[in-house]
Amino acid sequence: MRPGLNNLVEYTKAARFEKAGDKERLGAQSISEAERVNLAVTIGGIRMANPVTTGSGTFGFGPEYAPYVDLKRLGAITVKGTTLEPRLGNPVPRIVETPAGMLNAIGLQNPGVEAFVQDHLPYLREIGTPVIVNIAGNTVEEYAAVAGRLSEVGGVAGLEVNISCPNVKQGGIQFGTDPVMAAEVIGAVRASTQLPVIAKLSPNVTDIVAMAEGVAQAGADALSLINTLLGMAIDVQTRKPVLANIMGGLSGPAIKPVAVRMVWQVAQAVDLPIIGMGGIATPEDALEFILAGATGVAVGTANFVNPRATVEVIEGITTYCVKNGIKDINHLIGWAWKR
Amino acid sequence: MRPGLNNLVEYTKAARFEKAGDKERLGAQSISEAERVNLAVTIGGIRMANPVTTGSGTFGFGPEYAPYVDLKRLGAITVKGTTLEPRLGNPVPRIVETPAGMLNAIGLQNPGVEAFVQDHLPYLREIGTPVIVNIAGNTVEEYAAVAGRLSEVGGVAGLEVNISCPNVKQGGIQFGTDPVMAAEVIGAVRASTQLPVIAKLSPNVTDIVAMAEGVAQAGADALSLINTLLGMAIDVQTRKPVLANIMGGLSGPAIKPVAVRMVWQVAQAVDLPIIGMGGIATPEDALEFILAGATGVAVGTANFVNPRATVEVIEGITTYCVKNGIKDINHLIGWAWKR
Amino acid sequence: MFSCSALILKQEKLTNDHYLLTYLAPEMSQRARPGQFVHVRCGDTWDPLLRRPLSLHGIDPEAGTLSLLYRVVGRGTERLSRLSEGECLEVMGPLGRGFQLIGREAIVIGGGIGVAPLLPLVQVLIRQGIQVTVLLGARSQEGLLAQEAFQKTEARVEIATDDGTFGVRGTVVDLLQKRLESYSSVNPGEEAKRDICVYACGPVPMLSAIWQICQSGQIPLQLSLEERMGCGVGACLACVCRVKVVSNGENQKKQPAQFGVDAALTSQDWKYARVCVEGPVFWGKEVILDATRPE
Amino acid sequence: MFSCSALILKQEKLTNDHYLLTYLAPEMSQRARPGQFVHVRCGDTWDPLLRRPLSLHGIDPEAGTLSLLYRVVGRGTERLSRLSEGECLEVMGPLGRGFQLIGREAIVIGGGIGVAPLLPLVQVLIRQGIQVTVLLGARSQEGLLAQEAFQKTEARVEIATDDGTFGVRGTVVDLLQKRLESYSSVNPGEEAKRDICVYACGPVPMLSAIWQICQSGQIPLQLSLEERMGCGVGACLACVCRVKVVSNGENQKKQPAQFGVDAALTSQDWKYARVCVEGPVFWGKEVILDATRPE
Ligand SMILES: Cc1cc2nc3c(=O)[nH]c(=O)nc-3n(C[C@H](O)[C@H](O)[C@H](O)COP(=O)(O)OP(=O)(O)OC[C@H]3O[C@@H](n4cnc5c(N)ncnc54)[C@H](O)[C@@H]3O)c2cc1C
Ligand SMILES: Cc1cc2nc3c(=O)[nH]c(=O)nc-3n(C[C@H](O)[C@H](O)[C@H](O)COP(=O)(O)OP(=O)(O)OC[C@H]3O[C@@H](n4cnc5c(N)ncnc54)[C@H](O)[C@@H]3O)c2cc1C
Ligand SMILES: Cc1cc2nc3c(=O)[nH]c(=O)nc-3n(C[C@H](O)[C@H](O)[C@H](O)COP(=O)(O)O)c2cc1C
Ligand SMILES: Cc1cc2nc3c(=O)[nH]c(=O)nc-3n(C[C@H](O)[C@H](O)[C@H](O)COP(=O)(O)O)c2cc1C
Ligand code: FES
Ligand code: FES
């Protein structure tokens, strides 16, 4: 070893310790206080130990982040969008970085529901954390079929229905931008499953409240909002769109203000629990959504930046509750307009 | 003077020189090439020496930025939104910073059209740069009245109609989110002025193309897009919305991908010149909009970050044209989908 | 008003949260007046996006330097504190309307970081032959800033801390009251009040208390205010505060008053003024300190 | 796989655009294998947002250090180059599948910055008793990187520059052809081809040319690929490249093949594999280099 290396190793350990979760920083007394804070929430019948889940498509099927995060600690795991048949997805480039955000056009690459059930679900079941499966389709029937299949297999806590897909029967208009079509999808899914149904809304609409009301009437048990904002980027050197797919979905911290606004609007108008997402990277971000009216929160793009973002959010929420004398996280839901 | 200060002064001068416009950096030969590039564009009859104007509400009435920018060099100056009567605007806080962006809820504070004509227009007329006046109102009649008044006075090159205002007669729904109401406003303005009418569209809609088509049919000569995205922020300490107005408009680099996407969509569908805006801070940003189909571009929030952003964008576009052998900026408009 | 990349000559850490940054900007330093501020970038990416307003704490036109005394409170100031000697500071200024020098005696009051704009004020007041008393306040001794710098001037310096760890136990408001009593006992009569002026900068509750004392005693008062800023140059209308509308009779609306071009904007008895242009220094008799809007 | 704040021990500027950064990460260095990469943050704000993938250029488990050889091409790498000794690097890794060591002879080919992952490869190959020839290419002399480091190993190093300013005038492809000719003249027969392996990293046109030579000569080839990355851990599916589907008869779909769990995803004869997990090193016979999707 080089001279002085021991010191450096110590230094590195110290630096890592500094980065340790807030829980560690709270000190012994507060740790017991932290343990007394109730973080458990229920979303459409899904009981979660804490409000934090993952953004579909940003956390794979779980094992990808297992080296960085104890998956047992998450409130739920929401996995990549699953369709009836396998999908190849789009050509590359599939992503491009934008100011405080990114665009993606993955094109729903996924192995199809059967391969999901055989190859991925067993691993997820083992963890014990509630598994929310994000589902998608190009026809109402496809949605219903995936939902039906996932209801039979056991180990799925709920379905998150991604309605931001093009309806191939109706010329490719997105289900998620028309309240009637959205309600149709949710209604069909509702009819084919006993599992909790979470409707995941697209933010690319004039009236998010109308969308939420539509899917609520169609039988959704909960809402996820928001999905990505439709955007694009052009390469000034090639003078062509950067993404092979031309347009993509904008996510990351950049979109947080839009997401918080939509949660705020919907929470006041519709009596369903909401999983808030869009740019959550820190405990404060998550708290913004909860104060706006979200019962749960999902960490999406931030996982790419900080693979421990999910647990750091959980720890930070706990610290906030201890410091502010909040005994139950449920008290904070909607505080910004309720009190 | 302290010893060594002379050197430091030189250093500072050098640092400033380094930051000098691209034009300076091009070298003598290229400067003459730069002068041969045609940057002039025409937008709805407004002849601009270059494509660059200012985002309404971010550049005051012009003199505010005169110490930093030679206002004669701008393609046009788009001034703060003007209403029939003076408006006090909203209480503070009126702005909040967000990741790569900001929210504003100024509330259209403005001295009213008469004070504008008397106190601000004379200064603007002197400059010689085309002046675009952004107008707003709470009823169709108000819009028409402001437009009528501004048509009489001379020195106004065009009107940019901000339709993102609440329609007080129809319960506060925004004109800008309903194609029929938007067309009504534009139709009324069209009927009361000979000046070029630029419809400024809100991005908070499901179908930006339908909005654009609506105002095109109602007689708009050009389109500005985009206005701000509706967003909000919550202070986790007070647990209340940060802005006194609760919601505000999101602007800045964060929204650029959404803005480029909308320009791209509208440019291909509607045969009107577009002034693109939303997060433009650098020449490359401006070029993205032009390649997407914008004829003009507006620098908004970026003025706050860099008071010389407008001229730096003009200089950078020139450099780009010289380096890439582009003789006329008009050739680049819509390149990303035309070629 | 300039916008430049200025060379940082010094970045001193004064306390755990307080820094003193000195930069070279010859032209800017020649134009700067006490009470004015600069608008600085705290990084070179789009996050954080906006500039941060900071008062001029040191103005040295001879050396061509300016300095900023600031407290780290959030992301912007934290990043600012990481810059070091030899690096560049993107800075716009000098901005805003500074203090007006009037009368024969001055009482200059600073609370916490509010002392920042007051040091150059005191220096100029003294240079003009005005007699200056400086009242500094803080929670406790550690919160006292720039105290030595004030003591180096010819001003008389009095200090109060809430916990009595330094100077008098109490607040600057107590000190002000005493000082005004002794002034009026030496200089009796209404006339004498025109010869004194109070200058204050600090937290709003402190300013409110001072405002009330000066208002009831009819003592001229100048306050330096803070508000969130976008542009810093009067263009965005983000940074407003309420000021009283001075009634000029019937044609009041027609007169573009001292607050600049937007004087036409009035409610019944107040209007919004921009802190970055019409301020940050306002006359006590003009300003309405409570920032919430009445209906 | 770790994610940590590692102490930067050294940041050397090698050329105008190239840097060599060494950091301390004992556990990571013990796990790291040649051809693997790390995912680093290039700042601590949300802009730029994403991490940047960089290959491991130096792996020293004894010293507990790792090093990165990188070229400044954009905002991320530019910010990375501003970090200095004593500061922290946020880094995840080691990630991906590295090179597989096979055969008795190796030809290791690097073009431009593509040499980065090859140095530890060469060191390990030599330690395993494999005979190594290194072929380095660049436009001109200034573009040659880490040349001395390769020369310090026991490998035989040959260099080609397009303009002949150093080594042979020509490309590494020319060098490869010569080298293969001499190999097969010494080791004739099909069997001998299993005893050699070509390892390459560099620009896609170079890789394509090498791929064709190896394909037609049936020489084993391993390529290190690049693609834009989000997560770096296989979760986001951003970083895909096309690989051939190896037909296993009828129940092909059922077999989760060597590319991991997503083997079910297939078109007619290819599927997408993730560069960050199934790569960045791929076998030449598997990979389809042209990244555009055929219809
Ligand atoms: C005219 C003027 C002069 C000032 N002079 C000084 C000074 O000399 N020394 C000093 O330490 N501070 C001064 N301040 C306050 C200083 O601007 C804020 O502390 C600073 O902007 C906080 O930035 P941040 O990113 O660290 O905090 P954050 O809280 O992260 O900032 C978030 C946003 O709020 C704004 N903001 C937060 N606090 C304030 C505030 N008090 N006033 C205005 N905007 C705020 C920020 O500018 C930013 O846009 C002055 C403010 C004004 C208006
Ligand atoms: C597995 C792997 C190993 C690599 N090893 C090295 C190395 O050892 N040394 C080295 O100099 N470079 C290496 N690269 C390339 C390096 O990742 C890019 O040069 C870098 O990401 C550019 O970032 P930027 O912000 O400077 O450029 P920008 O062009 O501003 O980056 C914009 C976005 O594009 C992505 N991007 C740009 N170029 C590439 C690229 N070539 N590959 C992947 N993503 C890219 C960036 O990550 C970022 O998300 C490697 C790439 C991969 C995938
Ligand atoms: C790479 C990527 C893939 C995604 N895939 C899906 C998906 O399959 N289904 C879905 O409903 N949402 C998908 N999303 C959207 C996210 O789940 C989330 O709604 C969105 O990114 C906003 O949250 P964030 O800003 O935290 O990422 C994806 C997002 C990203 C960035
Ligand atoms: C402080 C502020 C005030 C604004 N005021 C107006 C306005 O009065 N009328 C209007 O049409 N748009 C207004 N806008 C919107 C801008 O003109 C522009 O459309 C938007 O900010 C997007 O561009 P940017 O990201 O470059 O700022 C305002 C924006 C800001 C930030
Ligand atoms: S900060 Fe823009 S008007 Fe004052
Ligand atoms: S970068 Fe996310 S899957 Fe490879």
Q: Which of D33, D47, D226 for mutating ligand 2's site (highest number of atoms within 8 Å of CB)?
A: D226
Q: What is the pLDDT of residue B328?
A: 97
Q: What is the pLDDT of residue A297?
A: 98
The ipTM (two decimal places) reads 0.94
Q: What is the pLDDT of residue C193?
A: 87
User: Which ligand has the shortest distance to the CA of D43?
Assistant: 2
> Is D43's Cβ below 8 Å from some Cβ in C?
yes
Using DSSP, state whether D22 is helix, strand or coil.
strand
User: What are phi and psi for residue B237, nearest 5 degrees?
Assistant: -80, -50
Question: Which ligand 6 atom sits nearest the alpha carbon of residue A64?
Answer: 3
Mean pLDDT of D113-131: 97
Query: How many angstroms separate the alpha carbon of residue D52 from the centre of ligand 2?
Result: 6
Could you tell me the two tokens for A53? 């889940």
Q: Which amino acid is at A339?
A: R
What pLDDT digit, counting tens, does each position of A152-206 carry? 999 999 999 999 877 777 777 789 999 999 999 999 999 999 999 999 999 999 9
Within 8 A of A100 by CB-CB distance, chain C residues are 46-47
Paired sense of beta strands C221-224 and C281-283, if any: antiparallel
Q: Smallest CA–CA separation between B2 and chain C, in Å? A: 6
Q: Between A28-36 and A309-323, two packed helices, what is the crossing angle to 10 degrees?
A: 100
What pLDDT digit, counting tens, does each position of C245-295 carry? 876 554 444 333 333 333 334 456 899 999 999 999 999 999 998 643 332
Could you tell me the two tokens for A94? 């599939």
> Is A100's Cβ below 8 Å from some Cβ in C?
yes
CATH dotted code for A3-338 = 3.20.20.70
Residues C59-89, buried b or exposed e (16+ Cβ, 10 A)?
beeebbbbbbbbbbeebbbebbbebeeeebb
- The domain limits of chain A are 3-338
> Is A93's Cβ below 8 Å from some Cβ in D?
yes
Q: Tell me which of C44, C47, C75 to substitute to probe the interface with A (most A C-beta atoms closer than 10 Å).
A: C47
Query: How many angstroms separate the alpha carbon of residue B58 from the centre of ligand 4?
Result: 6
Cα(C207)–Cα(C111) distance, integer angstroms: 9
Residue in C closest to B255 by C-alpha:
C46
Query: How many angstroms separate the alpha carbon of residue A147 from the centre of ligand 3?
Result: 19
- Within 8 A by CB and 6+ apart from B32, the residues are none
Q: What is the pLDDT of residue B71?
A: 98
Q: What is the pLDDT of residue B26?
A: 59
Cα(B305)–Cα(C40) distance, integer angstroms: 9
Within 8 A of A205 by CB-CB distance, chain B residues are 205-206
Q: What is the pLDDT of residue C267?
A: 56
Within 8 A of A80 by CB-CB distance, chain D residues are 235, 237
What pLDDT digit, counting tens, does each position of D26-79 carry? 999 999 999 999 999 999 999 999 999 999 999 999 999 999 999 999 999 999
What pLDDT digit, counting tens, does each position of C12-26 carry? 999 999 999 999 999
User: Which ligand has the shortest distance to the CA of A275?
Assistant: 3
Which letter does DSSP use for residue C116 in this model?
A: T
- Say if residue D261's pLDDT is above 70: no
> Is A253's Cβ below 8 Å from some Cβ in C?
yes
Greatest distance between any 2 Cα atoms in chain A: 71
Query: D39: part of which helix (H) or strand (E)?
Result: strand D37-40
- Contact between C212 and B66 under an 8 Å Cβ cutoff? The reply is no
Query: How many angstroms separate the alpha carbon of residue D53 from the centre of ligand 2?
Result: 6
Q: What is the pLDDT of residue A165?
A: 79
Q: Tell me which of D253, D262, D267, D270 to substitute to probe the interface with A (most A C-beta atoms closer than 10 Å).
A: D262
What pLDDT digit, counting tens, does each position of C123-154 carry? 999 999 999 999 999 999 988 999 999 999 99
Query: How many angstroms separate the alpha carbon of residue D202 from the centre of ligand 6?
Result: 20
What are the CA-CA distances from residue A205 to residues A64, A178, A230, B205, B259 (Å)?
33, 8, 10, 5, 15
What single string gives the DSSP state of each residue in C36-72?
Answer: -EEEE---SSSSS-S-EEEE--EEETTTTEEEEEEE-
The mean of the pLDDT values for chain D is 90
- Contact between B182 and B220 under an 8 Å Cβ cutoff? The reply is no
Q: Tell me which of D42, D47, D88 to substitute to probe the interface with C (most C C-beta atoms closer than 10 Å).
A: D47
Q: Between B179-191 and B140-152, two packed helices, what is the crossing angle to 10 degrees?
A: 30
Residue among A26, A133, A165, A287 flagged as catalytic: A165
Whether this prediction's pTM lies above 0.90 is answered by: yes
Q: Tell me which of B232, B288, B329 to substitute to probe the interface with A (most A C-beta atoms closer than 10 Å).
A: B232
Cβ-defined contact of A253 to C47 (cutoff 8 Å): yes
Q: Which residues of chain A have pLDDT under 50?
A: 1-24
How many Cβ pairs within 8 Å bridge chains A and D? 159
Could you tell me the two tokens for D287? 């990979």
Cα(D190)–Cα(B74) distance, integer angstroms: 72
Question: Which ligand 6 atom sits nearest the alpha carbon of residue D236?
Answer: 2
Cα(A157)–Cα(A147) distance, integer angstroms: 12
Q: Which of C41, C92, C228 for mutating ligand 1's site (highest number of atoms within 8 Å of CB)?
A: C228
Question: Which ligand 2 atom sits nearest the alpha carbon of residue D80?
Answer: 26
Task: With cut-offs at 50, 70 and 90, classify the pLDDT of residue D143.
Answer: confident
Could you tell me the two tokens for B48? 């601009």
Q: Smallest CA–CA separation between D47 and chain B, in Å? A: 7
Cβ-defined contact of A115 to D264 (cutoff 8 Å): yes
Residue in C closest to A254 by C-alpha:
C47
Q: Smallest CA–CA separation between D81 and chain B, in Å? A: 20
Nearest to A127 by CA among A157, A153, A161, A83: A157
Could you tell me the two tokens for A320? 């906030």
Bridge partners, residue A247, by sequence? A232
- Within 8 A by CB and 6+ apart from B97, the residues are C48, C49, C50
> Is D44's Cβ below 8 Å from some Cβ in C?
no
- Within 8 A by CB and 6+ apart from A178, the residues are B206
Nearest to B252 by CA among B101, B144, B27: B101
Task: Report whether residue C234 contacts ligand 5, using a CB cutoff of 6 Å.
Answer: yes
Pocket of ligand 3 (CB under 6 A): A 55-58, 80-81, 104, 106, 108, 134, 162, 200, 227-228, 251-252, 255, 277-280, 300-302; D 230, 236
User: Which ligand has the shortest distance to the CA of D225?
Assistant: 2
Q: Smallest CA–CA separation between A170 and chain B, in Å? A: 16
Q: Which of D231, D259, D262, D265 for mutating ligand 6's site (highest number of atoms within 8 Å of CB)?
A: D231
Q: What is the pLDDT of residue B33?
A: 75
- Say if residue D260's pLDDT is above 60: no
Could you tell me the two tokens for D258? 């060597």
| Catalytic site positions of B | 165
Query: How many angstroms separate the alpha carbon of residue C238 from the centre of ligand 5?
Result: 5
> Is C46's Cβ below 8 Å from some Cβ in D?
yes
Q: What is the pLDDT of residue C264?
A: 39
pLDDT tens for chain B, 339 residues: list them.
Answer: 333 444 544 444 444 433 444 444 556 667 777 778 999 999 999 999 999 999 999 999 999 999 999 999 999 999 999 999 999 999 999 999 999 999 999 999 999 999 999 999 999 999 999 999 999 999 999 999 999 999 999 999 999 999 987 777 777 778 999 999 999 999 999 999 999 999 999 999 999 999 999 999 999 999 999 999 999 999 999 999 999 999 999 999 999 999 999 999 999 999 999 999 999 999 999 999 999 999 999 999 999 999 999 999 999 999 999 999 999 999 999 999 998
Query: How many angstroms separate the alpha carbon of residue C5 from the centre of ligand 1?
Result: 20
- Say if residue D257's pLDDT is above 70: no
Cβ-defined contact of B1 to C62 (cutoff 8 Å): yes
Nearest to C89 by CA among C165, C22, C181, C147: C22
Q: Is residue A165 flagged as an active site residue?
A: yes
Q: What is the pLDDT of residue D146?
A: 92
- The burial class, CB within 10 Å (0-12 / 13-18 / 19+), for B152 is exposed
> Atom 11, ligand 4: which residue's CA is nearest?
B162
Query: How many angstroms separate the alpha carbon of residue C227 from the centre of ligand 1?
Result: 8
Task: Report whether residue B82 contacts ligand 4, using a CB cutoff of 6 Å.
Answer: no
What pLDDT digit, counting tens, does each position of B288-300 carry? 999 999 999 999 9
Candidate from B2, B16, B93 with C-beta closest to C63: B2
Could you tell me the two tokens for A206? 């004039």
Q: Smallest CA–CA separation between D89 and chain C, in Å? A: 16
What single string gives the DSSP state of each residue in B53-84?
Answer: EE-TTSSTTSGGGTTTS-GGGSS-EEEEEE-S
Paired sense of beta strands A222-225 and A197-200, if any: parallel
Cβ-defined contact of B16 to C63 (cutoff 8 Å): no
Q: Which amino acid is at A49?
A: A
Interface of D with B (CB under 8 A): 46-47
Q: What is the pLDDT of residue A49?
A: 98
Which letter does DSSP use for residue B118 in this model?
A: I
Question: Which ligand 1 atom sits nearest the alpha carbon of residue C57?
Answer: 8
Query: D12: part of which helix (H) or strand (E)?
Result: strand D2-13
